[in-house]
Structure 1
Amino acid sequence: MRIAFDHQIFGWQEYGGVSRYAYELATGLAGACGQDVNIICPLYVNRYLAESDAVGLVTGVRVPVFPKSGRIYRAVNAVLGWPGMRRFRPDIVHETYYSTRTAAPKGSKVVLTVYDMIHERFPENFSIADPTRREKAAAVLRADHVICISEQTRKDLVEFLGVPPEKTSVVHLGFTLRPQGSQPSQDEASDRPYLLYVGNRSGYKNFDGLVRAYASSPFLQAEFDLVCFGGGEFNARERDAVEKLGAAASRVRQVAGDDSVLASYYRQARAFVYPSRYEGFGIPPLEAMSFGCPVACSNVSSIPEVVGDAAEMFDPSDTESMCAAIERVASDEARRAELIARGRARLDVFSWQRCAQQTLDIYRRIAA
């Protein structure tokens, strides 16, 4: 089977969950599944493609990132990618993000992956000018089949866009961290025990709720820092919120780095906390489990579907519930050991090889 992935995500995302998924899926299909796979992105910025050693997987060249480069590369790739698609003559074109137009040649079946319905469920968190909802709806309507990364995402897709359930399938993600170079030492990571939060802190991610729970606990403030990895430096609103809630500003810190630095923070954290009110899937808890870090997380949307019984769960809208769950994981050695063991067992459910094989089964079904 000839399978093409389009340019969309690779032309504007250097690192990130969506491009990692598309890259891991493509390499799995080409490798373990033995399919003829081509990522057709004439101009790409993506680091996963740049660091790939898979011969012949990518058609394109890496280009630099600069202000508004994603928008420019998207327009150029839409033109330059078309001849490559026609030459490759794919049976399946897997679109890597949402667009009103397809790159698929006539006769190719189109598959689209929907990662979440956050824009539809939380429209107040996004600008009216954000085109994601419109482009997603157009791409879903156009696709021959839609893959959802969780049952929660599929339910929301059917609810918000009225997609026939038979046009959808659920394929869970795998997870991978790719540490490069030397690992940071304990001193580089933190000089105090800490709780770890990873990623974007806006809106539905409920970072404010986590700070509120942390600030309400004399035990947590006395014994642990709250370290936030990635997501950019704290803005003025976040700094003010920390101060107003009574948390010591020196104990709530933001840090950044590549996968090797993140891996070190996971390994050394007392607990990983995931307070989100909604997720299409949620890879960070699996990443934490893979490094032996116990997880405390929300009990809503797709998160229980991902973590199973391998996490201490809480109601993300209830400060006392969140605080109590974090305190249990941070203070109870027996519970920590239990969660670490369950986390290792939970990882067996998720792999990129399994994701690739289940996706290939869908391709074969719709191409028949």
Structure 2
Amino acid sequence: MKADVIVYVHDIISASRSFPLTPQGIISRFITGRYLEYLENADHILAASELTKDQIIEKTNYDGKMDVVYQGVDNLPHKSSEKRDIDLFYVGSLADHKRPAFIRELFSEAVEKGYNVAHVTESDMKGKTYREVSEAKLAELYSRSRYYIHPSRIEGFGRCPLEAQRYGATPMAFENSINEEILGESYVKIKSVNDALENLESERNHDLISRGIRNSERFKWSKTRNELKDVLTSDSM
């Protein structure tokens, strides 16, 4: 009896990239092409978001079953802090789709203006740098932050701004499809470095903080497990 192939897809961002005509670029293009072929042969695809689902439809010839199963963001330990001494926080890489030039410029100008900024990255930027942190430390950093910067052009899901919301930090982000889907009306929309700096200068909107916390509560691992169980059970019948 042939087993069904069920694939969980976080994103296919690489399918939209233009690869350079270098040995590494050619290899990356080949791997991406093979991955998309693999998806087309799946019996059932689970996408991390509606955006990822739409991209799969656009970039492949897949015509089988496909559902969206959101991830949970409630795995970090509970942490509360009376102080919000980090004005701006960022977690992640500086890959091209994250707008690295924007992040560097924002952090540089924020430091020059006297703001306390911190980031968990593998890159040297202005502000306090953390290379590796435990889950407990990450929860602490979120709980001490006023704003979380999320300037990505595209994401398959967008975990970090949701984690930030869970600890009472307010995401600032560009308006795009994935942010509208995942964050809705619970984030500060920006278009430039100046927009972000102006928000740092003002008091945070308490209604927006509450909306952020409620929004993050939509994404629980217990819900993810139940939805995965339902899919696996229905596909095995």
Task: Please give the range of the TM-score, normalised by the shorter of the 2 chains.
Answer: 0.7 to 0.9
2:69 to 171, 174, 187: 171
1:278 to 147, 151, 154: 154
Mapped pair 1:345 → 2:221: no
Mapped pair 1:210 → 2:103: yes
Aligned-residue offset at 1:331: 3.2
Q: SS of the counterpart of 1:195? A: strand
1:222 to 109, 113, 116: 113
> Is the contact between residue 148 and residue 168 of structure 1 (CA under 8 Å) also seen in structure 2?
yes
> Is the contact between residue 112 and residue 139 of structure 1 (CA under 8 Å) also seen in structure 2?
no
Aligned-residue offset at 1:227: 1.9
Aligned-residue offset at 1:310: 1.1
Q: SS of the counterpart of 2:177? A: coil
Q: Distance in 1 between matches of 2:40 and 2:138?
A: 38
2:38 to 130, 139, 143: 139
Amino acid at match of 2:218: V
Q: Distance in 2 between matches of 1:269 and 1:124?
A: 37
RMSD: 2.8
> Is the contact between residue 277 and residue 300 of structure 1 (CA under 8 Å) also seen in structure 2?
yes
What TM-score results when the alignment is normalised by the length of structure 2? 0.84
Q: Distance in 2 between matches of 1:325 and 1:352?
A: 31
The number of residues matched between the two structures is 231
Report the counterpart of residue 129 of structure 2 in structure 1: 254
Q: Distance in 2 between matches of 1:113 and 1:310?
A: 27
Aligned-residue offset at 1:221: 3.3
> Is the contact between residue 8 and residue 46 of structure 2 (CA under 8 Å) also seen in structure 1?
yes
> Is the contact between residue 107 and residue 127 of structure 2 (CA under 8 Å) also seen in structure 1?
no
Pairing 1:80-159 to 2, within 5 Å after superposition:
106-124=1-19, 127-130=25-28, 132-159=31-58
The unaligned stretches of length 5 or more in structure 2 are none
- Between Structure 1 and Structure 2, whose CA radius of gyration is higher? 1
Report the counterpart of residue 23 of structure 1 in structure 2: none
Q: Distance in 2 between matches of 1:195 and 1:124?
A: 33
Deviations 1:93-134 (A, max 9, x none): xxxxxxxxxxxxx42211001111111112448733235413
Q: Distance in 2 between matches of 1:132 and 1:365?
A: 31
Distance 1:341 1:146, change over 3 A: same
> Is the contact between residue 295 and residue 339 of structure 1 (CA under 8 Å) also seen in structure 2?
no
Amino acid at match of 1:252: G
Identity %: 22
Pairing 1:34-53 to 2, within 5 Å after superposition:
none
Identify which of structures 1 and 2 has the higher relative contact order when contacts are C-alpha pairs closer than 8 Å and 6+ apart. Answer: 2
> Is the contact between residue 297 and residue 313 of structure 1 (CA under 8 Å) also seen in structure 2?
yes
Mapped pair 1:354 → 2:223: yes
Q: Distance in 2 between matches of 1:305 and 1:207?
A: 23
> Is the contact between residue 290 and residue 347 of structure 1 (CA under 8 Å) also seen in structure 2?
yes
Q: SS of the counterpart of 1:366? A: helix
Mapped pair 1:331 → 2:226: no
Aligned-residue offset at 1:254: 2.2
Q: Distance in 2 between matches of 1:308 and 1:183?
A: 24
Q: SS of the counterpart of 2:88? A: strand
Q: Distance in 1 between matches of 2:77 and 2:222?
A: 20
Distance 1:171 1:326, change over 3 A: farther
